[in-house]
């Protein structure tokens, strides 16, 4: 997209300078606005043309039967799919009785700007109707980061050249017609008109619709209020019925005169609250928004983002595209989780319906690490959502004959939503990923209240699963068999190294947590024997290693498999899962996404530098990156192994995944984890950031293309700024008590009075590893 001549590269904005219908759906994802609770795709204000209409409320979904050729015990019976809720962003326009439709007449000018500092989408259009009337339209849209239920649009029409009769129809619309689905027809049927009308209202400038989902039984309320400014004799009329509520504003504009509508929209949903309660809820949210007014919403949005950017900004000198991309990434990651408040952070955020709106392990391992150091309050809320779904996870574990809790591979409301068990049920590593996020958050914030109220129980129940899933052999080694690691091309394997090492961390963390919190341990029935069993299993966990090759195995026996025939695999046959049977993939040495390589990042203390170098050199030629989650992980470990140019190329791939639509599916929503991976590649890759208990470790080095990299972090109530140049790094504490950190192994003490400056050691040269044929980094 951004390589098209109508998209510009700017440090603080994404700007579209002309309308391109061929990438309209992609632009709707890029220009989406959200706060983690409400999501509005970047559809045109008038509603049409569109690629994929989208208005979402986090957690609002419909259920549908899951398809099975042959049923089996333990298979989930129903799936969950995000639905398009009542659309409150539509403002249709008629000019001298002709619909304002950019497919007709003459489009004189069209520009949209996603302003990353102000948190708004702005649009300017000049259009001449088929009959020759010309108008200029300006709009500004926001989804409030400070008022969770509220979104708003300022829409202004100006007559150009001659007198024009203008009609604006501001609407709430439910059950919009959606494009046909390429997926399961049963899911598609569930999404056809999923909302049943319960109530509608149109009084003065106030509109409201209340609906209920047909199967999941969720009540959705959306209301709107308006401030209209125009010439004398401007009139308004409101009406409602069924799936539409409408305010019609009519005026006659002389050249240069404007008609302006400020539309405030409030959203709410519940599975338990009554219809009157939901109507009152959205009316109250509108009252709060009206109290601040349009300008107040703009001001509070800017203030919120000023505070965010002051501690989270990443500055990149030497590559303008990556500079723009990392800020775009941080903005969308913030939007995905800022006000989710005990709801999931889906893989697409609230930018589209891809992956059915499900949350995966992506959240804990890619998104939450970024938010932990930039917006930690959002992390606590995301983990409390996992805590609130513990009952479903315990029930799933019991169904599988296991102890503790088995968290789902993909879900919206806590139940397993995957119909494919090798990549779903067998991917037990999601348990350890959640535990890792708990430990990371508590270490970075010192939030002992969260640990006591939710963290301990999450750690205990995930540890119990590992102890029941694994077993000790006759020599005492602890094995976890029949699991699927991050690489879904190696399913149902024994002793996946990533899974085993992450389970090890999970078991030790649980044992440590119950020692710190004996009351919680007693409440959960954890005794000294159980805690000791966790430690025994952790210390005895088996990590498969090939002594002959001198590398760790991705799982037991992986290195003896036949290598995939990359030579005879054509470029158009990627991704492999769409062109080859899983049976063939499962028994070959081919890696969908970083697995053992990811383990070297997340469990770095279990690998020395030589092992990192040898492992990376072995797995790099096998990794095809048929997942958007891979490039950022490979960037991090490539940088650690000294392959800085390769790390740079992988960073660019992660950064431009959506802005250049590298996987050709941005139309379905943004890849939030890959966006988060842009930060990971820069901060953990070139910055060398690693966790160190109650401290931080850095090993900064820059590739030749970058002159300077600077980033901010929050840690233990402090704000730290790190600035990396070609030959030196400066660590500056912006506020808080003095902090001890490590620079390439050297302990440093930094305070607000005195930054620490250290030189950057040179990189030890190593031969560059090769990638599979046709699968070199895609930097756009």
Catalytic residues: 488
Task: Kindly write down the DSSP assignment for every residue of 489-502, as one continuous string.
Answer: TS-SBSS-HHHHHH
Nearest to 772 by CA among 501, 424, 489: 489
Phi/psi at 581 (nearest 5 deg)?
-70, 145
DSSP string, 172-196: EE-S---PPPSS-HHHHHHTSS-EE
What Cα–Cα distance (Å) separates residue 412 from each residue in 66, 122, 346, 406, 417? 15, 31, 8, 15, 8
Q: Cα separation of 344 and 329, whole Å? A: 19
Q: What is the DSSP letter of 48?
A: -
- Distance in angstroms (rounded) separating the CA atoms of residues 421 and 129: 55
* Residue 80 near residue 412, CB atoms below 8 Å: yes
| Nearest residue to 350 via CA among 704, 713, 736, 668 | 668
What's the distance, CA 679 to chain centroid? 13
1/440 Cα distance (integer angstroms): 36
Q: How many CA atoms lie within 13 A of 131 on its CB side?
A: 13
Phi, psi of 545 (to 5 degrees): -145, 135
Closest CA to 421 of 446, 399, 404: 399
The radius of gyration of the chain from alpha carbons, rounded to an integer in Å, stands at 27
Alpha carbons 114 and 11: distance in angstroms, whole number: 12
Rounded Cα distance, 114 and 33, in Å: 9
- Alpha-carbon dihedral of residues 59, 65, 69, 75, nearest 10 degrees? 60
Asked if 333 and 344 touch (Cβ cutoff 8 Å), the reply is: no
Q: Do 416 and 408 meet the contact criterion of CB atoms below 8 Å apart? A: yes
Tell me the HSE value of 47 on the side-chain side, using a 13 A CA sphere. 20
- CA 76/CA 418 separation, integer angstroms: 7
Instruction: Quote helix, strand, coil % in the chain, to nearest 5.
Output: 35, 25, 40
C-alpha to C-alpha distance for 505 and 499, rounded to whole angstroms: 10
Q: Report the C-alpha gap between 79 and 445 in whole angstroms.
A: 36
Residue 48 Cα distances to 91, 103, 557, angstroms: 10, 9, 55
- Residues linked to residue 220 through DSSP beta bridges, in sequence order: 211, 269
If one counts every other C-beta atom within 10 angstroms of the C-beta of residue 555, the result is 28
- Measured on CA atoms in the order 25, 122, 358, 325, is the torsion positive or negative? positive
| Ordered strands of the 33-34 beta sheet | 33-34, 38-40, 55-57
């Amino acid at each position: 997209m951004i390589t098209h001549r109508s998209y510009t590269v700017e440090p603080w904005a994404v700007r579209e300078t002309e309308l391109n219908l061929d990438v309209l759906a992609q632009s709707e994802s890029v220009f989406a606005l959200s706060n983690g609770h409400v999501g509005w795709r970047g559809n045109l204000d008038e509603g049409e043309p569109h690629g994929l209409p989208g208005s979402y409320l986090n957690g609002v979904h419909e259920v549908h039967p899951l398809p099975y050729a042959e049923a089996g015990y333990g298979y989930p019976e129903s799936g969950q799919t995000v639905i398009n809720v009542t659309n409150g962003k539509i403002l249709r326009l008629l000019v001298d009785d002709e619909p304002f439709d950019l497919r007709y007449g003459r489009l004189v000018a069209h520009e949209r700007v996603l302003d990353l500092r102000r948190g708004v989408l702005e649009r300017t259009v000049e259009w001449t109707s088929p009959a020759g009337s010309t108008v200029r339209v300006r709009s500004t849209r926001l989804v409030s980061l400070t008022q969770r239920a509220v979104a708003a649009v300022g829409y202004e029409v100006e007559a150009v050249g001659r007198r024009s009769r203008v009609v604006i129809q501001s609407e709430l619309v439910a059950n919009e017609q959606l494009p046909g689905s390429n997926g399961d027809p049963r899911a598609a049927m569930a999404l056809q008109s999923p909302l049943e009308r319960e109530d509608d209202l149109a009084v003065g400038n106030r509109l409201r619709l209340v609906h209920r989902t047909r199967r999941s039984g969720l009540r959705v309320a959306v209301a709107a209020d308006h401030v209209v400014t125009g010439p004398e004799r401007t009139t308004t009329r409101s009406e409602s019925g069924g799936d539409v509520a409408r305010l019609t504003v009519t005026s006659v504009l002389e050249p240069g005169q404007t008609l302006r509508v400020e539309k405030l929209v409030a959203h709410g949903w519940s599975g338990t609250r009554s219809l009157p309660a939901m109507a009152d809820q959205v009316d109250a949210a509108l009252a709060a928004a009206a109290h601040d007014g349009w300008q107040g919403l703009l001001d509070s949005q800017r203030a919120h983002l000023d505070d965010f950017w002051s501690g989270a900004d990443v500055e990149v000198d030497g590559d303008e595209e990556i500079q723009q991309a990392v800020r775009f990434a941080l903005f969308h990651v913030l939007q995905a989780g800022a006000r989710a408040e005990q709801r999931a952070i889906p893989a697409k955020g609230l930018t589209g319906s891809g992956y059915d709106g499900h949350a995966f392990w992506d959240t804990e391992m890619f998104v939450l690490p970024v938010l932990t150091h930039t917006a930690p309050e959002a992390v606590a809320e995301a983990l409390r959502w996992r805590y609130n779904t513990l009952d479903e996870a315990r029930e799933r574990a019991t169904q599988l004959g296991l102890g503790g809790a088995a968290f789902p591979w993909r879900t919206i409301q806590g139940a397993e939503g995957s119909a494919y068990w090798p990549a779903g049920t067998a991917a037990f590593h999601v348990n350890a990923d959640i535990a890792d996020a708990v430990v990371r958050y508590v270490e970075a914030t010192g939030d002992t209240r969260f640990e006591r109220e939710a963290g301990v129980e999450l750690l205990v129940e995930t540890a119990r699963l590992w102890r029941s899933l694994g077993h000790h052999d006759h020599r005492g080694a602890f094995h976890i068999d029949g699991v699927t690691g991050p690489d879904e091309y190696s399913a149902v394997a024994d002793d996946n190294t990533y899974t085993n090492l992450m389970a090890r961390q999970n078991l030790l963390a649980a044992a440590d947590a119950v020692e710190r919190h004996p009351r919680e341990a007693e409440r959960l029935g954890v005794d000294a024997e159980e805690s000791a069993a966790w430690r025994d299993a952790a210390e005895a966990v088996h990590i498969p290693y090939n002594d002959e090759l001198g590398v760790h195995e991705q799982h037991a026996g992986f290195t003896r498999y036949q290598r995939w025939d990359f030579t005879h695999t054509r470029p158009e046959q990627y991704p492999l899962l769409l062109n080859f049977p899983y049976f063939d993939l499962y028994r070959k040495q081919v890696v969908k996404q970083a697995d053992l390589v990811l383990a070297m990042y997340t469990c770095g203390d279990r690998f020395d530098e030589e092992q990192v170098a040898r492992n990376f050199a072995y797995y790099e030629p096998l990794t095809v990156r048929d997942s958007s989650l891979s490039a950022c992980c490979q960037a991090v470990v490539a940088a650690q192994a000294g392959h800085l140019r390769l790390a740079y190329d992988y960073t660019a791939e992660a950064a431009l995944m959506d802005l250049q639509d590298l996987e050709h599916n941005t139309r379905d929503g943004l890849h939030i984890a890959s966006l988060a991976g842009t930060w990971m590649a820069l901060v953990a890759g070139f910055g060398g950031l690693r966790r160190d208990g109650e401290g931080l470790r850095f090993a900064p080095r820059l590739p030749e293309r970058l002159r300077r990299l600077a980033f901010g972090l929050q840690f233990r109530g402090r704000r730290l700024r790190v600035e990396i140049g070609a030959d030196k790094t400066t660590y500056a504490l912006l506020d808080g008590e003095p902090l001890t950190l490590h620079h390439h192994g050297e302990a440093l003490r930094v305070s607000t009075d005195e930054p620490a400056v250290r030189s950057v050691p040179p990189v030890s040269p190593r031969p560059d590893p090769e990638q599979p044929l046709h699968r070199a980094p895609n930097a756009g």
